[in-house]
Amino acid sequence: MDPLTPMITTNPFDDDKLREECGIFGVSGADTASAIVALGLHALQHRGQEAAGITSWDGHDFHTHRAMGHVAGNFDRDEVIRGLPGGSACGHVRYSTTGETSLRNVQPLYAELNSGGFAVAHNGNISNAMKVRRELIRRGSIFQSTSDTEVIIHLVATSSYRTLLDKFIDALKQVEGAYSLIVMTPEGMIACRDPLGIRPLVMGKLGDTIMFASETVAFDVVGADYIRSIDPGELVIVTNAGEIRSHRPFGDVHPRPCIFEHVYFSRPDSIVDGSSVYSVRKAIGAQLAIENPVEADYVIPVPDSGVPAAIGYAQQSGIPFELGIIRSHYIGRTFIQPGDKVRHLGVKLKHNANRALIQGKKIVLIDDSIVRGTTSLKIVQMMREAGAAEVHMRIASPPTKHSCFYGVDTPERTKLLAHKLDVGGMQDFIHADSLSFISIDGLYKALGEAKRECGRPQYCDACFTGDYPTTLTDQDDVVVTDQLELLAERVA
């Protein structure tokens, strides 16, 4: 993929949220592996709605079905599942953080290598993919997609190591950035996580069947038990005979998992790195109330992501929790507005004020984040039009000032409201009576850490702090190129 590809927005109502990355799910040792994977992908649909795919292995051949759109409608038909036979399967739901939106980029990606078939499902983003891709093309590789994931396949194919496992490890040591991977080969299934553990990956079990997923909620749906998280830098191999082996080729690692999984991305009924997402979000709301109190009649969440934090804020502050905004669940990402006037009014199709409740009241709105600020502006305006006496905004994360290059689709930095304005300027922009964010140390406290240690942060919090845990080779190359082009223009 080209990590600089512009954000693709299929629903302008949702363009003020950080995009979920992708979701992956793998099953090894089941009678109907692809059917289980399809169910698991349903539970992970929130992580990607543009496309979905499943690849299975029947002991002799690999079978793949990929399609644009949701899991439902593409994988709920018997003939599709019958076309994906075998005891092992892996699947992927996609939101394109890089690369174009087209069927050739839909995962799992599959290739025939010298050692046999190789299928891979990837959650994350390779931050040196462009540089590696250019070198591979120079050496004769031919790419079939614009996906950064394909870089891994070519690195495996061209590795000089003897065994497939060593080739795979060799490939991983040449890439930077974030990845959780599920790989299928004729020898078995491999699940791995990058050395920093930026993207999540968990392991589950149903009888003798081993499963891997982006979130534990996928196990709940299929009736499997959650075993543990895959450790940062760990490779777990499940052979066709059911043997499980763990490899740690990266030595000592200092994990920095994505802090935004706890704030927004993961479903509240998931367990992330051993913690209940729902409980953490309530704790974030409580800490937000401690740091940023206000006198009000009601605490109101911006649905749905603001609900747990709003409950925590209400419990800590003693202000009653109420549903002052009602969300319609029938407005999808593909809704198209026919004109600017309808676009402006469109937020009311998804969110509508509970006028009878909030008229004449002082309210505290709780949301998970502010990105561009356009949705917050519309929500505050809606509350005022419904008669709210005062509208105070409280955000369950620090200001989002920096772009993510690890598999989360964020606007370029210049379009982030917190990059352009301080908190006072943001408050004026959204027309709130007050606006406050949880502090970065407060967020860490809610996650069970004393504070953010500047020398070695426990999480990847680069979207808030600009402290990126890896080098950003492709981004640095672009900056240098831009500077050289600017210099050439000045000389001319």
Catalytic-labelled residue, pool 22, 90, 192, 463: 22
pLDDT in tens, 297-341: 999 999 988 999 999 999 999 999 999 999 877 665 433 444 545
Containing structural domain, residue 389:
277-465
Residues contacting 241, CB < 8 A, separation 6+: none
pLDDT in tens, the chain (492 residues): 333 333 333 343 345 666 556 999 999 999 999 999 999 999 999 999 899 999 999 999 999 999 999 999 999 999 999 999 999 999 999 876 555 567 889 999 999 999 899 999 999 999 999 999 999 999 999 999 999 999 999 999 999 999 999 999 999 999 999 999 999 999 999 999 999 999 999 999 999 999 999 999 999 999 999 999 999 999 999 999 999 999 999 998 899 999 999 999 999 999 998 899 999 999 999 999 999 999 999 999 999 889 999 999 999 999 999 999 998 776 654 334 445 455 455 556 678 999 999 999 999 999 999 999 998 999 999 999 999 999 999 999 999 999 999 988 777 888 999 999 999 999 999 999 999 999 999 999 999 987 787 777 999 999 999 999 999 998 875 444 443 343 444 444
Is residue 370 located within the same domain as residue 402?
yes
Is residue 191 located within the same domain as residue 339?
no
Residues contacting 465, CB < 8 A, separation 6+: 398, 402, 440, 452, 457
Q: Which helix (H) or strand (E) holds 225?
A: strand 225-229
Burial degree of 338 (CB within 10 A; 0-12, 13-18, 19+): exposed
Please report whether residue 13 resides in a domain: no
Say what the pLDDT of residue 459 is.
Answer: 95
Domain end residue (candidates: 255, 285, 307):
255
Q: Measured in Å, how far apart are the chain's first and last C-alpha atoms?
A: 33
CA separation for the pair 368, 18 (Å, rounded): 10
Please report whether residue 124 resides in a domain: yes
pLDDT in tens, 409-454: 777 888 999 999 999 999 999 999 999 999 999 999 999 987 787 7
DSSP state of 171: H
Q: Which is nearest to 469 in space by CA: 169, 48, 124, 46?
A: 124
Is residue 311 located within the same domain as residue 180?
no
The CATH number assigned to the domain holding 102 equals 3.60.20.10
Q: In what order do the strands lie in the sheet with 390-395?
A: 298-301, 362-367, 390-395, 434-437
Strands 235-239, 225-229: parallel, antiparallel or unpaired by DSSP?
A: unpaired
Is residue 175 located within the same domain as residue 313?
no
CA separation for the pair 369, 244 (Å, rounded): 40
Say what the pLDDT of residue 310 is.
Answer: 98
Is residue 197 located within the same domain as residue 329?
no
Instruction: Give alpha helix (H) positions in 44-144.
Output: 78-82, 129-138
Helix axes of 277-291 and 307-317: crossing angle, nearest 10 degrees: 50
**In the annotation, is 460 catalytic?**
no
Please report whether residue 378 resides in a domain: yes
Burial degree of 101 (CB within 10 A; 0-12, 13-18, 19+): middle
Q: How many domains does the chain have?
A: 2
Write b or e for each residue in 163-186: b if 16 or more Cβ atoms lie within 10 A of its Cβ, otherwise e.
ebbebbbbbbeebbbbbbbbbbbb
Is residue 233 located within the same domain as residue 337?
no
Is residue 241 located within the same domain as residue 300?
no
Is residue 388 located within the same domain as residue 303?
yes
Say what the pLDDT of residue 350 is.
Answer: 75
Burial degree of 94 (CB within 10 A; 0-12, 13-18, 19+): buried
Asked whether the beta carbons of 121 and 24 are under 8 A apart, the reply is yes
Is residue 298 located within the same domain as residue 426?
yes
Is residue 448 located within the same domain as residue 307?
yes
Q: Which helix (H) or strand (E) holds 281?
A: helix 277-291
Please report whether residue 350 resides in a domain: yes
Say what the pLDDT of residue 6 is.
Answer: 30
Say what the pLDDT of residue 487 is.
Answer: 42
The CATH number assigned to the domain holding 438 equals 3.40.50.2020
Say what the pLDDT of residue 2 is.
Answer: 36
Is residue 251 located within the same domain as residue 281?
no
Please report whether residue 334 resides in a domain: yes
* Three-state secondary-structure class, residue 472: coil
Distances in Å between the Cα of 42 and the Cα atoms of 49, 75, 389 are 10, 9, 42
Say what the pLDDT of residue 101 is.
Answer: 65
Please report whether residue 483 resides in a domain: no
The overall longest dimension of the chain from CA atoms, in Å, is 73
Please report whether residue 260 resides in a domain: no
CA separation for the pair 101, 98 (Å, rounded): 9
CA separation for the pair 236, 214 (Å, rounded): 15
Please report whether residue 99 resides in a domain: yes
Is residue 195 located within the same domain as residue 73?
yes
Say what the pLDDT of residue 348 is.
Answer: 63
Q: Which is nearest to 457 in space by CA: 257, 263, 253?
A: 257
Cα–Cα–Cα angle for 16, 17, 23, rounded to 5 degrees: 150
Q: Is 119 left (phi over 0), alpha (psi -120 to 50) or beta?
A: beta
